[in-house]
Amino acid sequence: MVSDDSILRSLLSVIGNSYSPYSRFRVASAVVCSDGRVFTGVNVENSSYGLSICAERVAIFKAVSEGCREIKRVYVMSDCGEPIPPCGACLQVISEFSRGDDTEIVMYSPRGDGVRKRLSELLPLRFSFSSVMDRNI
């Protein structure tokens, strides 16, 4: 099992890769798949701001592209000094690749201060596969 300390070191090593010339808000993320593999990502901005992508989704999409379909844990760190939660879009993507509400989300500051939450705490009324498939249309 991968340790939180090794993930924190990974986040610190990749946050400088963030491409954030417009917001100047660097974010790094890591996801741990159910098979133990770890994928990292950083936010990537675009002058057409709607085309930007958050670090969490970069990490998740890298994992999915390598065959991971189940995420156990998500880590996120920004350079703003305080732990920050994933945005709503990222929470929904986390939900898509989580099996249940117990997926852990760990938010770090660059100092290593951490806050742990469950997906169900940050997205209590998630839109999920079962909510789509259970519709009687």
Tens of pLDDT, residue by residue over 48-86, are 999 999 999 999 999 999 999 999 999 999 999 899 999
In the DSSP assignment, the letter for residue 44 is: B
Which pTM was predicted?
0.91
- Residue ranges per structural domain of the chain: 4-133
SS (H, E, C) 85-117: CCCHHHHHHHHHCCCCCCCEEEEECCCCCEEEE
Q: Which of 56, 70, 96, 104 is catalytic?
A: 56
pLDDT in tens, 89-122: 999 999 999 977 789 999 999 888 999 999 999 9
How many whole angstroms separate alpha carbon 132 and alpha carbon 4?
34
Q: Which CATH architecture has domain 4-133?
A: 3-Layer(aba) Sandwich (3.40)
Active site (annotated) includes residue 96: no
